[in-house]
Homo-oligomer: A and B are copies of this chain.
């Protein structure tokens, strides 16, 4: 009663091939792994005729290696991670590794679950931890034998893994100084979660930048977001309702999109009424009016680097060397979203009334 008899044959095994070729399974195995075999011709034909493909599961069980690499990111729809993944992909495919791409949705619990199921299914891991993870997740600690590269974010307990990071402090600091140089002093910040590496470091960068100019961050002009669009929107709404800033720094692209939406909704004109800088380039950045000045960083290159660190641990000799920490540089891309503060806020260097 099966629809058609063709296509229903269970996949051919190495034994089937061996039988057909009149040799032992061992010989077929050797042939497949490129060793010299007397009847290579015959074996090859048997393989072809049966459409034989080795069972990866069995192979992995035997060898202990899966040739899979797990890639765990908090949000695959964030263009930043999308670009990183492209970088990872581009340098993994040649190496005959498969990528298991997974999304944690910034959820530590989900991440833990994911890692648990991933261990055993992958030979190595590239992990951009969810923001809520202060320490390495249990699943990771338990299985130290899998090489791990941390991406974009670290754990509080630190330097036990290879990592690929960017100079968050420097980037945010440079952006802030750009604003102070324009004459801004009342600068608002929409930061990311301070328990995440980029959230904390970018915040520090802003503080640093303010200090450089002899100012201090007004606690009343600080908002903490969640690195997501809605967080940025709400934070900006809140700032606009109560704040008196002339400029704002937003800690990532998604929140920046939300913040811009809030500005648009309220009718705040950028840069006339408010100067706007953010960390990370915005998707479709050139179409947005005005083009947003932002802290740019390598994205694809971060992925490529992460992958090459991993490959060194896997194939190369660097298996047991000390963890490496790579920090990549940022660059301020000046566009059209910043100007000098409106005159009304008083000449920066002559404190008038207060």
Residues on A close to B: CB < 8 A?
2-3, 7-8, 11, 51, 53, 55-58, 60-61, 66, 68, 76-77, 79, 82-83, 85-86, 89, 93, 98-103, 105, 110, 113, 116-121, 142-145, 257, 260-261, 264, 282-284, 286-289, 320
- Residue in contact with A102 in the complex, picked from B55, B99, B143, CB distance below 8 Å: B99
Q: A57-B61, A85-B76, A101-B100 are in contact. Are A288 and B288 (CB under 8 A)?
A: yes
- Residue in contact with A57 in the complex, picked from B120, B142, B283, B284, CB distance below 8 Å: B120
Q: Are A77 and B66 in contact (CB under 8 A)?
A: no
Q: Are B100 and A117 in contact (CB under 8 A)?
A: no
Q: Are A103 and B76 in contact (CB under 8 A)?
A: no
- Report A251 CB to chain B, min CB distance, Å: 17
The 4 nearest A-B residue pairs measured at CB: A77-B82, A101-B101, A7-B144, A289-B289
* Measured CA separation A2–B2 after assembly (Å): 57
13 contacts between A and B (CB under 8 A): A7-B144, A11-B143, A51-B142, A57-B61, A58-B61, A76-B76, A76-B86, A77-B79, A77-B83, A93-B110, A98-B121, A100-B101, A257-B287
* Minimum CB distance partner of A101 in chain B: B101
Q: A260-B287, A289-B289 are in contact. Are A57 and B60 (CB under 8 A)?
A: yes
* Measured CA separation A86–B284 after assembly (Å): 21
* Measured CA separation A143–B77 after assembly (Å): 31
- Residue in contact with A101 in the complex, picked from B79, B102, B113, B260, CB distance below 8 Å: B102
Residues of B near A118 (CB, < 8 A) are 98
- Report A282 CB to chain B, min CB distance, Å: 7
- Residue in contact with A284 in the complex, picked from B3, B51, B60, B257, CB distance below 8 Å: B257
* Measured CA separation A55–B102 after assembly (Å): 20
Q: Are B82 and A3 in contact (CB under 8 A)?
A: no
* Measured CA separation A208–B110 after assembly (Å): 47
- Report A159 CB to chain B, min CB distance, Å: 14
Residues of B near A79 (CB, < 8 A) are 77, 283
- Report A88 CB to chain B, min CB distance, Å: 10
